[in-house]
Amino acid sequence: MENACKNVYITTPIYYVNDVAHIGHAYTTIIADMLARYSRLTGANTFLLTGTDEHGQKIAQSAEARGKTPKEYADEVSGKFKALWDDFDISYDKFIRTTDEEHKTGVQKAFEKMYAKGDIYKGDYEGYYCVSCETFFTEKQLIDGEFCPDCGKPTHIVKEESFFFKLSKYEDALIKWYEENEDCILPRAKKNEIINFVKGGLKDLSISRTSFDWGVKLPESVNEPKHVMYVWLDALMNYITALGYGTTEENMHRWPASIHLVGKDILRFHSIYWPAFLMSLDLPLPKHIAAHGWWTRDGEKMSKSKGNVVNPKEVADAYGLDAFRYFMLREVPFGQDGDFSQKALMDRINSDLGNDLGNLLNRIMGMSGKYFDFKITSKDVAKYHQKELDEVNAILGNVEEYIYNMQLNRYLEEIWKVLTIANKAIGDYEPWAKMKEGKEDEAMALVALITNIVAKVALLLDSVMPEKIKEVAKCLGIAIDTTSYTNLIVNKNLVQSTTITKIEQLFPRIEEMLLQQAAPADVTQNQTELEAKEKKTQKEEKKDEDNLITIDKFFETSLKIGTIVEAEEVPKSKKLLKLQVDLGEGKNRQILAGIKEFYTAQELIGTQACVVANLKPAKLMGMLSEGMLLAAKDENGLNLIRPEKPKTIGTKIS
């Protein structure tokens, strides 16, 4: 990642205007804003891009259902996204829309260059198309031969003339890029998934449509007026058209992107299609593509039907925007799925923010006012507290690496170690006792040490909680700017003297939840009765768990050895892997197994497992599961039950 004084270009995905902004959108955008604010503070020439993706068949259909034109509908939803980011004080430098004329012109210029290079050709396309996901699937990938494997909605066969991008041409070049750039995809574990996918072979990509017209037209030079560009070619180009590609070129010096932030569901498009497009355009590739996980609520997947979708604006309004930002960045390691609960948020506010940071600031105000008329000098800090200064400087001197490696929770954990040093020093040195003993210089040194620690921490937390840190800076009499950052963090100097100003309590304690708990939308008057029956059934089942069965009863279960021939993650699921298992039946079984926390999809391919083969098929997340794998789980984790040596597929277990 770039150092200070160099270009730092950060992007969010452009959000699709067929939905309202949810916690996932807020998470991505807050991360991007944090990176941008930190980079600006260090003196880097920073540019933050966000925006909305507004073309495609799904938008046209949604607009028609509401009696609006596609542009009217896109204006409305895009406006809501922009208003939310403005409410959240997101420090974006440009908000791009794919309906912007400059964007459309830039995309057409890119198409022309690829076409002239021979990377685009015309052909015919036929496939199963999911309008909701804007994605084509093979018949083998469908559920019950009809339903989308990602969202569970019906697909339909699309056969139409199309222009294709020669994606297969760039297969080797992509592999070379992945292998030569260790951190091009973050977290690094995600890169292995992408490499394996590309090594499996890439097919040329359909990049135009004739079945609808809400999209960017092909350039006039191609003379194909009935075609519009497919959404991914259109959308991905925003990262360069926002810099003036194909038009003014005014900001193209900022390319390549320092970091593209994406959700894990769109990592494949950004790490395969996008770099291939850039190679075709002879442009440098992005330095990092970082994919984060999804959010659940109170351990459950969020859905409108459950009534548990987290509205980020409501949370921020209730608990404070800065507290919400801190929680999102601290609560979960980047790349992993996270869970939102009000209890967890309250714990972070009351403990981390209220006790560790807020109370420390209160003690500075109290001690400086009581002992020194709010005037602090640091002349004796090094004399009495060099040990603590060395510890603080050692920690803070290494925190930047966590930011640019997308270990944001670790960044905050390290900063909190510094706050622990400060709180511990007060107990260890007892400035009130020093004052009674007449050792005012030692007491002053201690209060000045704490003041300097909080000043350094404030600089590093400005990107996380900018509004609250303004209050801290006011209290300590410091400026939050590049000069202070260089002085206190880079050069490890101290605030030589300052006057403390009293401020209101930074994070008042929260005793009860401030938002109404979500209740499922289909709750009825019989819910309590149903829950009681369910608990009774569970108790009865528990009683029967250890009951003995006859041998005949056991042999009603058909157990067979199967080989896992394909495996992939189930989008939006923390636990499920979708497996294709060969049981020697002439057709693979699709089995959904809740083992993603213990096995990766890739490591299962080619291995054998014990399968319950006569289990009644069931649907999970809209997908058919035709069996179950046997596994054992204890405090040390979960392991699949496997044959000691490879067995013929379909072998019965007895």
pLDDT at 151: 82
Specify the pTM.
0.78
23 pLDDT more than 90: yes
What's the pLDDT score for residue 545? 44
What residues form DSSP beta bridges with 633?
A: 638
Residues whose CB falls within 8 Å of the CB of residue 506, separated by 6 or more in sequence, listed in order: 353, 354, 357, 358, 361, 362, 468, 471, 472
Rounded to whole angstroms, how far apart are CA atoms 378 and 82? 45
Residue 110 contacts residue 277 (beta carbons within 8 Å): yes
pLDDT (tens digit, 9 = 90+) per residue, 146-183? Answer: 888 878 889 988 788 999 999 999 999 999 999 999 99
- Does pLDDT of 544 surpass 70? no
pLDDT over 50 at 539, yes or no: no
Who has greater pLDDT, 345 or 522? 345
H/E stretch holding 40 reads: helix 23-41
For the cut 60, the answer to whether the pLDDT of residue 133 exceeds it is yes
**Alpha helices in 281-399, H assignment, sequence order:** 312-319, 321-331, 342-347, 359-372, 381-396
**133 marked among binding-site residues:** yes
pLDDT-derived band at 533 (thresholds 50, 70, 90) equals very low
Angle at 628 between CA 626 and CA 632, to 5 degrees: 170
Q: What pLDDT sits at residue 305?
A: 64
For residue range 349-378, list pLDDT tens digits in order. Answer: 999 999 999 999 999 999 999 999 999 999
| CA dist., res. 292 & res. 382, Å (int) | 42
Which of 359 and 4 is assigned the larger pLDDT? 359
Tell whether residue 475 is among the known ligand binding residues: no
Convert the pLDDT of each residue in 59-97 to its tens digit.
999 999 999 999 999 999 999 999 999 999 999 999 999
As a whole number, the mean pLDDT across the chain is 90
Which pLDDT tens digit goes with each residue over 550-568? 655 566 788 999 999 889 8
Which residues pair with residue 611 across a beta bridge? Answer: 560, 629
At residue 571, the pLDDT reads 80
Domains of the chain: 337-499 (1.10.730.10), 545-640 (2.40.50.140)
Q: What is the pLDDT of residue 522?
A: 40
State mean pLDDT over 401-420. 96
Phi, psi (deg, nearest 5) at residue 188: -60, -30
Query: CA 259 to CA 280: how far, in whole Å?
Result: 20
Specify the residue for token string 């596994």. 631
Return the pLDDT at 551.
Answer: 56
Report, as an integer, the average pLDDT of 18-41.
Answer: 94
pLDDT reported for residue 26: 97
Residue 148 marked as a ligand binder? yes
Residue type, 535: K
End-to-end CA distance of the chain: 57
Name the packing angle between helices 321-331 and 312-319 (round to 10°).
120
pLDDT for position 489? 97
Residue 529 confidence class, pLDDT cut points 50, 70, 90? very low
The answer to whether 434 and 443 are in contact (CB under 8 A) is yes
Find where tokens 């096995």 sit.
Answer: 599
Q: How, if at all, do strands 295-297 and 289-292 pair?
A: unpaired
Pairing of strands 120-130, 156-165: antiparallel
pLDDT in tens, 308-330: 888 999 999 999 999 999 999 99
pLDDT for 524: 34
What SS3 string covers 562-595? Answer: EEEEEEEECCCCCCCEEEEEECCCCCCEEEEECC
Q: Mean per-residue pLDDT for 31-59? A: 96
531 against 121, higher pLDDT: 121
Alpha-carbon gap, residue 127 to 137, rounded angstroms: 6
Position with higher pLDDT, 2 vs 577: 577
Q: What is the pLDDT of residue 549?
A: 59
**What is the Cα–Cα distance from 118 to 564, expressed in whole angstroms?**
40
| pLDDT range class, residue 636, cuts 50, 70, 90 | low
Read off the pLDDT of each residue in 125-130 and give the average, rounded to a whole number.
82
Q: Residue 52: pLDDT above 60?
A: yes
Strand order across the beta sheet in which 120-130 lies: 135-137, 120-130, 156-165, 205-206
In whole angstroms, give the CA distance from residue 577 to residue 195.
19
Residue 271 scores a pLDDT above 90: yes
